[in-house]
Amino acid sequence: MQDICGSVPVTEAGQPRLCPLQAALAARPDVESYDDFCRVALSLLRFIAAAYATGASDCWEAAYRFADEAPGIADSPLLVARVAALVRILRSGSPCELCFMPPSCRRLSKDETELMRLLAVARRNQPGELESIVCQVVGPGKEDAATRAVNALALC
């Protein structure tokens, strides 16, 4: 990023300084840092979140079609149902609206990064760690339901 004089700001070590937005984007993982199952789950989360945000039935159809076409998914309707259950729990237990990116986006929002971390921990079958992360993501009273939903999704 250049200032109005055309020079690039540098740190004391001589490295180019990133603007705060560039630094935040560089630090956040992208879709490619997750395995195939997590990428499918992320896309489904995004389709279903879009369905709730817009009320458009096309988003539900896109979620089912995407799950049907995803390689390695044995029971796509069950997968969509488990993702939808997790989204419903998160929406009801979150003090504010969750931020989901469009399905084709390579970057992850902060909320999506947390959800992918939840799913990765659940897939590694580390219960104590999962409960502590769930408490950070959902509001009080929804921890048990969110933990069950993440575990069910991880086993799908």
pTM of the model: 0.76
pLDDT in tens, 114-141: 899 899 999 988 768 888 888 888 877 8
Contact 113, 28 (CB under 8 A): yes
Instruction: Write out the two tokens for 126.
Output: 């580390």
**At CA 29, angle to CA 9 and CA 59, rounded to 5?**
120
> Cα(141)–Cα(144) distance, rounded to whole angstroms?
7
Contact (Cβ atoms closer than 8 angstroms) between residue 83 and residue 98: no
Q: Which of 83, 81, 72 is nearest to 46 (CA)?
A: 83
Q: Which tens digits make up the pLDDT trace of 10-56?
A: 556 666 666 665 655 555 566 677 888 989 999 999 999 999 989 99
